[in-house]
A and B are shown apart, each in its own frame.
Chain A
Amino acid sequence: MSTSSQSAALKFEILARCSTTKARASILTLPHGPVPLPIFQPVATQASLKGLTPVQLAQTGCNLCLNNTYHLGLKPGQETLEVIGGAHVLQGWKGNILTDSGGFQMVSLLELAKITEEGVCFSSPHDGTPMLLTPEHSISLQNTIGSDIIMQLDDVIVTTSPDAVRMKEAMQRSIRWLDRCIAAHKRPEKQNLFCIIQGGLDLEMRKICCEEMARRDTPGIAIGGLSGGEDKVSYCQVVDTCTDLLPQNKPRYVMGVGYPEDLVVSVALGADMFDCVWPTRTARFGNAITATGNLNLRHASFANDFTPIDADCSCECCRSEEKGGLGITRAYIYHVASKETAGAHLLTMHNVHYLLSLMGKVRAAIIEDRYPEFLRSYFRKAYGDMQKIPTWATTALRKVGVDLRA
């Protein structure tokens, strides 16, 4: 079985596999440098990660972040991006960028979007004139943005939709649109087009889609349509099914996932890449992600808590002044949360660093082949009492050979 793959603008190499679960540790080399997998990718929607500079973002350990095609297409717009020379130049970011197709945002943001075989029809947010986002247009925009990984336009409907006929149509259309995206892609030597597996919660449909799309041999593969309100058991089944069928030697990206326990379980199920706006959005509401759970630091009980946000965290905020950090306390975040944007910046730094560092620990555990123990100690710390661990997690992990309650 091949453990590596190479295309014009990407190299993927598996360094280690967990001997119990399906977890892999690998290295993904993209045009803007190597990315250790498994990885969490923070979302810089409009070419900016919520108040952080690219240097601050790099300091959290990030070398691959997301931009949203739909937003960049509106502001600053394709023409401007063309003149400037793409999103890396726009934001002064030396690391890698992944962009979505814009389709998902379109469907979820614009109530009146309608999908036809041609593309996604919507009315312009500027003046209401009818517009059409086709696979060709999406790829053209992403070519202009110049992102290192670009995503195909897919026909997304909510996984919980009871309409099996529509679901099948969406899955099959996504395959046809993939072909159109591949044909339209002008810069395969610089940018990597990933396909997106569709098929809702129907495992048979997912299988067909996996086979069809794997045959197109894109440099990477995304599992799409999830994190849209389905239950976690179904989510795990879909990921588990897809990773069984997908080629081993390609990176696998599960879109829209970012809760810590979702990440560690999905890695055990064989996924490599994740993204989510939750860690950065929740920071703006004063929520800190910690090893013992999420804390809302706007709660008055933190007003006199002079401990770091997370005592074990090594981010700039949490490190003491003696250790070269800022020595920020929970009480100070309480003092500024939702009053000064600096408070949001500090928590954003912490949350992103926390998730990247979590993925770093996940990776080290896989390489040292102690991922099952890692999972047990992770859940023990997060929930205290092993009986409180959610059933979906214990079930999913038992299926890949890890008994959390052992």
Chain B
Amino acid sequence: MAAVHDHGPARLSSSICSFELQSPSPEANKPRIGHLSFQDRVPIETPHYVAVSSRGAVPHLSQDMMRGNTRINAMYAAIEDFIEKATHQSQTPPVFNFPAAPHESPLRKFIALQKSALLILGPRRIPPLPCPASSTHSAISIVTALGYGMLEYTDYIEAVQKLRPDIVLGMGDVLFGHKPGFKRRDMMGDRTLAWMKGLVEGMTDEENGTPRTALFAPILPIEAEQQSYYLDALKDELSDHISGLVLYDIASIDAISPTLHHLPRLSLAPISTPHDLLNAISLGHDIFAIPFITSASDAGIALSFSFPSPTQDPNTPTALPLGIDMWSPTHATSLSPLSPNCTCYTCTHHHRAYIQHLLNAKEMLGWVLLQLHNHHIIDEFFAGVRTSIKQNSFQETRTAFHKLYTAELPEKTGQGPRVRGYQFKSEKSEPRRNPPAYRALDHGKEKLDDAKEKLAEAEKLSLSVDAGDLEERGSGEGLGEKVD
């Protein structure tokens, strides 16, 4: 495939956002180095990742922890996390009402995201929970804290106008959880095109437009020819309005028209290991949302890989694990950091014995500390990736990484933190997320007190509170166990 821009940096620029591609070339199917900059935000060197938030916070991390103890400078938020009052109670979502000047984002202020961080808004959580209902010609199905609902594309446009994030992802007719049938695939491109046109219109509206928001267009996870009409529109009539692309499938890179190769590519493709990441990077994906960071933390796993990988000891030919199961009692008296030489908050302030104790005692801090460490590991991973691409050593470094580490993250052995309804993936065969704890006597009193307080609260609130809390009702857990 011929490169459109022969040599030298390719550039997209508008007044608010620019993406500069450096080495080695802006071709498809090659790892690439980029520099994504936004007015007033810390620029992002790519390949990199964006942190995934839940209801405006990176799970387990309060805003002060994220600001002070991580290097996160880009965050993804999903509109379905903010609109349950609209979807289920016909009220204006509170976030729309947050007082903000025209150049500010009410969403950023509402979730207390620092000014320097890039804010990306999309329709669905990452990873999205599958919905039983299918999309219509004007809406996709979503899951809010109050249950399943539909998101009309016109409501999405209004949300974008009201919330004014730095980047907004176009709403695509993307199915999660199963493959679309042939007939359905035909409609996906048409619907997405119509929704994209509406969004562009809304964003360029004289009165309610969003001149400070950049639009990333979805590439649908189907064959290029099945969405050719839409893809043609992207490179022609819509090209002036889009600043980036969103990919839902690693292979979608092939569907990108060469004239759009200069655009940054945000990957929401399923990624479950660093090997998957390296594969996507090798094909030219630039920015990633990585659900396995939080899922590893939830599982009590401290990520332990680095790129480039350490030199393999010839005497220990077995593969190194990608993560350490901190539930294992072998760490109970270990005063070592999670990873040797790690400079994260957790490793510089605490040791394995404490993390093991916190998990064992089901103290929330355990997941906080793992989350800090795991994000740090990913930060370092991408820094290593960028260096190796610059040095033209990416492929061999990747091969060595692949040889040294196991293929998968370790199995989860302990219980994760409590899951809420809107986080809960209801899969047929999967057992209850957190089986009821044994009625541990050591927590009896505290739990009893918690339960009493919860009951008292429930009585006080019964008339007015909305049933926002989709905790696994009736799952057999004692009231009190949900609270700690």
Contacts and interface: CB of A to CB of B under 8 A. Distances in A.
A71 B483 CA distance: 18
A281 B453 contact: yes
Contacts of A48: 358, 361, 363-366
Given A285-B457, A300-B465, A336 B446 contact: no
A63 B152 CA distance: 53
A316 B64 contact: yes
B365 A52 contact: yes
A109 B55 contact: no
Nearest to A344: B364
Contact of A83 (B333, B367, B484): B333
A341 B353 contact: no
Interface in B38-85: 54-65, 67, 82, 85
B434 interface: no
A7 interface: no
Interface stretch (A33-41, A138-146, A205-213, A327-335): A327-335
Contact of B446 (A110, A125, A277, A335): A277
Interface string B101-115: 000000001111001
Contacts of A245: none
Contacts of A385: none
Nearest to A123: B441
Interface in A2-52: 45-52
Contacts of B444: 109-110
Contacts of A303: 85, 94
Contacts of B442: 70-71, 74-75, 109, 125
Among B94, B353, B466, residue most surrounded by chain A Cβ atoms (within 10 Å): B94
B483 A285 contact: yes
Contacts of B59: 340-342
A340 B457 contact: no
Interface in A300-359: 300-301, 303-304, 306, 316-317, 321, 326-329, 331-332, 334-336, 338-346, 349
Contact of B56 (A125, A281, A317, A335): A335
Interface string B444-464: 111001100110010011001
Contacts, number: 182
Interface stretch (A84-92, A149-157, A176-184, A259-267): A84-92
B97 interface: yes
Nearest to B93: A303
Contacts of A345: 62, 65, 364, 368
A298 interface: yes
Given A50-B364, A349-B62, A281 B98 contact: no
Contact of A54 (B349, B366, B445, B484): B349
Given A74-B442, A303-B85, A332 B56 contact: yes
A184 to B, nearest CB: 24
Contacts of B115: 321
Interface in B91-144: 94-95, 97-99, 109-112, 115
B420 interface: yes
A327 B466 contact: no
Contacts of A164: none
A356 B366 CA distance: 25
Given A48-B365, A335-B56, A339-B469, A76 B441 contact: no
B287 to A, nearest CB: 24
Contact of B453 (A50, A282, A329): A282
B445 to A, nearest CB: 4
Among A70, A108, A298, A339, residue most surrounded by chain B Cβ atoms (within 10 Å): A339
Interface string B331-369: 011010000000001000111011011101101111111
Interface in A65-117: 70-71, 74-76, 80, 83-84, 89-92, 105, 108-110
B31 interface: no
B326 interface: no
A284 interface: yes
A301 B450 CA distance: 24
A299 interface: yes
A292 interface: no
A172 interface: no
A349 B461 CA distance: 24
Contact of B354 (A49, A90, A109, A328): A90
A304 B96 CA distance: 10
Given A71-B361, A108-B445, A345-B364, A284 B98 contact: no
Contacts of A110: 441, 444
A46 B385 CA distance: 40
Among A328, A341, A346, residue most surrounded by chain B Cβ atoms (within 10 Å): A341
Given A84-B333, A282-B453, A304-B97, A336 B483 contact: no
Among A46, A125, A286, A327, residue most surrounded by chain B Cβ atoms (within 10 Å): A46
A48 B362 CA distance: 10
Interface string A106-139: 0011100000000000000100000000000000
13 contacts: A48-B358, A49-B365, A50-B365, A109-B444, A281-B453, A299-B465, A306-B98, A321-B115, A339-B145, A340-B55, A341-B59, A345-B364, A346-B63
Interface of A: 45-56, 70-71, 74-76, 80, 83-84, 89-92, 105, 108-110, 125, 277, 281-282, 284-287, 296, 298-301, 303-304, 306, 316-317, 321, 326-329, 331-332, 334-336, 338-346, 349
**Which 8 A-B pairs give the minimum distances between C-beta atoms?**
A125-B441, A51-B364, A342-B57, A345-B62, A109-B445, A48-B363, A46-B361, A83-B333
